[in-house]
Structure 1
Amino acid sequence: MGINDMVFWSTGIMLLLLFLKVPVFVSLLAGSLFYFVSSPDIPQQIIVQRVISGIESIPLLAIPFFVAAGVFMNYSGVTKRVLQFAEALTGHWTGALAQVNVLLSALMGGLSGSNLADAAMEAKMLVPEMVKRGYSNEFSSVVTATSAMITPLIPPGIAMIIYGSIANVSIGKLFVAGLGPGILLTIALMILVSIMSKRRHYMPIRDKRLPGKEILRSIKVALLPLMLPVVIIGGIRLGIFTPTEAGAVAIVYALLLGILYREMSLREFAIGLKETLINTTSIMLIIGAASAFAWILTRERIPQIVTEIVITHVSNKYLFLAIVNIFLLIVGMFIEGNAAMIVLVPLLAPMASAYGIDEIHFAMVFIFNMAIGALSPPMGTLMFVTCGITKCPIGNFIKEAVPFYILLAICLCLLTYIPILSTGIVNLVY
């Protein structure tokens, strides 16, 4: 059996197991293990070394830190205060609760760092109230899942940490770059929600805008939590701490808020540690397994071979970006985003560089594609997490989500072909 055949069969085994809904890290490990077993000249111990070395990365240490910070934020009363602030700003708009849902995701994106955690939180907090006030369960579920896509874009998104560590791109710059796509998606979703709410007669929470004093009071209540992204980006930019150390700073900040607000008990602190351990373990297992598979691709020079083929047949960088978008959208429908990132970034980033595409711009395009994949059937994790909590049938969810998929495609095109949306703020800050 030739080397290329072994790579082909390893990939086939991995994809087959993913289709059968075998856990992602098991599917990746099975494909990698087949390659090592079928290669007598390669010591099988290497697969263990690659899995371990894949997670022995200083930048990746930021993941458990930011996961913990997000969990502690939820237990310290931060979410409730940010929700009050979002409601104060949008409560008089048509479809007010849906607007609150979108805005809360944008504000919490800089605090939680996890789209699944954000979707689960809002599905529990907001969807029952939305349904009670006349919103359909399908619409409420779709708005919740779609708005959670903002989370990996707003710093400090975990996807940016993983991408930066793999592609050797400044994580600090990626944090800043995420603001552009995050703001774009937030505004686009609010416009779509407003249009759909008017057609369905989803009413505001109140008739008039709150008085200035009330809005100011809500800002004061939420000010300290909302300062966290500013502290993180400012500290990294000024060289006070690294992105990894920023995660530790975020934990301390969250715990201080818990003490200040007196809403996090020792029991909740212990529960938060348990949640952090579970969430971090699931992420790291995928990263380790995907690292082993990525090593196989690198050893067989698959990135170089594919790059030569693509450059030979595609001479236009804009056409290349279109092909990459279609490819990543399809991949995102079947493979978990973090795993796809570890396997594909070493493959696609050199190609983008060969076409002269800015590394920050391409990173944002890649991450946005993976965010869409988390919402797309048949394996969209955001879709399943949200529907699992709201009890919304998957078929109804997909039907209701069609306008949102169209909107996401438009945003992806804008992000792909207007680089300043990704790089503009970075150029200003750096």
Structure 2
Amino acid sequence: MMDINVVALSAIVILVLLFLKIPVFITLLSGSVVYFMLTPSVPVQIIAQRVIAGIESIPLLAVPFFVCAGVFMNYSGVTKRVMDFSETIIGKMPGGLAQVNVLLSTLMGGLSGSNLADAAMQAKMLVPEMEKKGFSKEFSSVVTASSAMITPLIPPGIAMIIYGSIANVSIGRLFIAGIGPGILLCTSMMILVGIISKKRGYKSDRVESLSSSEKIRAVMSALFPLMLPVIIIGGIRLGIFTPTEAGAVAIVYSLLLGLVYKEMKISHLKQGLKETINSTASIMLIVGAASAFAWILTRERIPQEITGMIINTISNKYVFLLAVNLFLIIVGMFIEGNAAMIVLVPLLAPVATAYGIDEIQFAMIFIFNMAIGALSPPMGTLMFVTCGITRCKIMNFIKEAIPFYILLLVCLMLLTFVPAFSTGIVNLFY
């Protein structure tokens, strides 16, 4: 059997196991094992070496650091302060808590770095309150899950760290590039929420404006937490620390906030470390397993073959980007984002470079597509996490989410055809 046929068989095994809902890392390892077992010229021991080599990456050290910082932020009283600040900013806008939900996701995205953690937190904290204020369960769930998509785009998103380590792209530049798409998605989503809320009569529960002293108090209480993204980006840009070291800085900063606010206890510290280990282990298992399969693709020169085939078939880079968008959205519906990234970035990034597409712009398009996939049926992780907590029926969720899917596609087209949304701030900084 030819090696290329073995690769195809491995890919089929992976797809079948994914449809059977086998854990992602086991699925990817199974596909890799099939290749090694049917390729006598390659020692089977290499699979273990490639799994370990996949996670022995200095940039990936930032993952546990930022996960830990995000967990500690939740225990240090930061979330409540940022939420109060969001309510102050929103004022009496149509939608009230729904608008707070979107803005909180944007602000907390710069602190937690994890869209699933953000969705789970707000599903527990905000959805019950939104239902008490008269919002439907479906609308509340959709706003929570959709706004959590902003998290991987706002620095320091975990997806940016993984993408940068795979594609050898500056993680610092990716952090800065995420600001533009994050603001675009936040602004457009708040406009959509306002339109829907006004149509359905979802009003803000605040009748009177806050006094100046109340506004100042809310801003000051959230000032230190909101300084974290500024410290991270500023420190990286000024060369004070690397993106990996920025993760360690974020942990120290979150612990200092816990001491200042006097809300973090020793028990929270232990629980936070336990959550960090669990989250990091699940990410690294996928990274290691996907790295083994990515090595197989590289060995068989699949990226080069695909590059040549696509360039000979498609002459226009925008047609290529449209095809990639369609492909990635479909992939994101079935495969976990980090796993898809590790396997597909080595395949698609060289093709994008061959077309002259800016590496930062392509990274943002890729990450945005994976975020859309996480919200989409049949296997959207954001959708299932949110509905699992709010007990919203999946079919009702999908019907309610249709306007948000349309909005996301519009934003994706803007990122695809207007590079300035991705590269404008990066060019300004660098």
Scaled to the shorter chain, the TM-score interval is over 0.9
Q: Distance in 1 between matches of 2:201 and 2:237?
A: 46
* 1:130 paired to 2:125: no
AA partner of residue 189 (structure 1): M
Deviations 1:65-103 (A, max 9, x none): 000000000000000100000011114111110000000
2:327 maps to 1:338: no
* 2-structure distance, mates of 1:24, 1:288: 11
Q: CA deviation at 1:213?
A: 2.7
Contact 1:91 1:97 in 2 (8 A): no
> Following superposition of structure 1 onto structure 2, how do residues 184-203 of structure 1 map, counting pairs within 5 Å?
184-203=184-203
**What one-letter code is carried by the residue in structure 2 that aligns with 1:428?**
L
Distance in structure 2 (CA, Å) of the matches to 1:371 and 1:235: 27
- State the one-letter code of the partner of 1:170: S
Q: Aligned pair 1:51/2:51, yes or no? A: yes
1:254 maps onto 2:251 in alignment: no
> TM-score w.r.t. structure 2 length?
0.99
CA distance in 1, matches of 2:376, 2:101: 20
Per-residue deviation at 1:212? 2.9
Instruction: Tell me the distance in 2 between the aligned counterparts of 1:262 and 1:15.
Output: 49
The answer as to whether partners of 1:67 and 1:113 remain within 8 angstroms in 2 is yes
Residue pairs, 1:15-414, within 5 angstroms: 15-414=15-414
- Bigger CA drift: 50-59 or 200-209? 200-209
Q: Residues of 1 paired with 2:221 and 2:250: CA distance?
A: 19
- Structure 2: runs of 5 or more not aligned: none
Contact 1:123 1:141 in 2 (8 A): yes
**How many angstroms apart in 2 are the aligned matches of 1:68 and 1:295?**
29
Q: In the aligned structure 2, how far is the partner of 1:32 from the partner of 1:108? A: 37
SS of the residue corresponding to residue 375 of structure 2 reads coil
Shift of 1:126: 0.2
The whole-number CA distance in structure 1 between the counterparts of 2:47 and 2:102 is 43
Please state how far the C-alpha of 1:341 moved relative to its aligned partner. 0.3
Q: What per-residue deviation string (whole Å, max 9, x for no partner) do you get for residues 24-72 of structure 1?
A: 0000000000000001111000000000000000000000000000000
1:325 Cα deviation (Å)?
0.3
Question: How far apart are the structure 1 equivalents of 2:78 and 2:296?
Answer: 44
Q: What CA distance in whole angstroms lies between the structure 2 residues aligned with 1:30 and 1:322?
A: 32
Cα distance in structure 2, aligned partners of 1:208 and 1:305: 64
Q: Distance in 1 between matches of 2:256 and 2:90?
A: 29
Distance of 2:46 and 2:91 partners within structure 1: 57
Q: What CA deviation, in whole Å up to 9, does each residue of 1:314-355 have, x standing for no partner?
A: 000010100000000000000000000000000000000000
Supply the distance in 2 between the matched residues of 1:216 and 1:110 (Cα, whole angstroms).
22
Q: What are the superposed Cα offsets for residues 107-128 of structure 1, whole Å, 9 maximum, x if unpaired?
A: 0000000000000000000000
Rounded Cα–Cα distance in structure 1 between residues aligned with 2:260 and 2:236: 25
Q: 1:211 Cα deviation (Å)?
A: 2.8
In structure 2, what is the Cα distance between the partners aligned to 1:251 and 1:199? 43
Kindly provide the CA deviation profile for residues 155-199 of structure 1, in whole angstroms up to 9, marking residues without a partner as x. 000000000000000000000000000000000100000000011
Cα RMSD between the aligned structures?
0.6
Shift of 1:209: 3.2
CA shift at 1:205, angstroms?
1.9
4+ residue segments displaced more than 3 Å: none
Q: CA contact under 8 A between 1:91 and 1:205: conserved in structure 2?
A: no
CA distance in 2, matches of 1:337, 1:173: 21
Kept after mapping to 2: 8 A contact 1:163/1:341:
yes
- The CA distance in 2 between the partners of 1:158 and 1:96, in whole Å, is 30
The AA in structure 1 aligned to 2:69 is A
Which whole-Å deviations, capped at 9, do the CAs of 1:238-269 have from their partners, x for residues lacking one?
00000000000000000000011010100011
Identity of aligned residues (%): 73
AA in 2 matched with 1:47: I
Query: What is the CA–CA distance in structure 1 between the aligned matches of 2:71 and 2:171, rounded to whole Å?
Result: 22
Report the residue type matching 1:398 in the other structure.
I
Letter of the 2:32 partner, please give it: S
Q: SS of the residue aligned with 1:374?
A: helix
The Cα offsets for residues 123-172 of structure 1, whole Å up to 9 and x where unpaired, read as 00000000011100000000000000000000000000000000000000
- How far residue 207 of structure 1 moved from its aligned partner, in angstroms, is 1.9
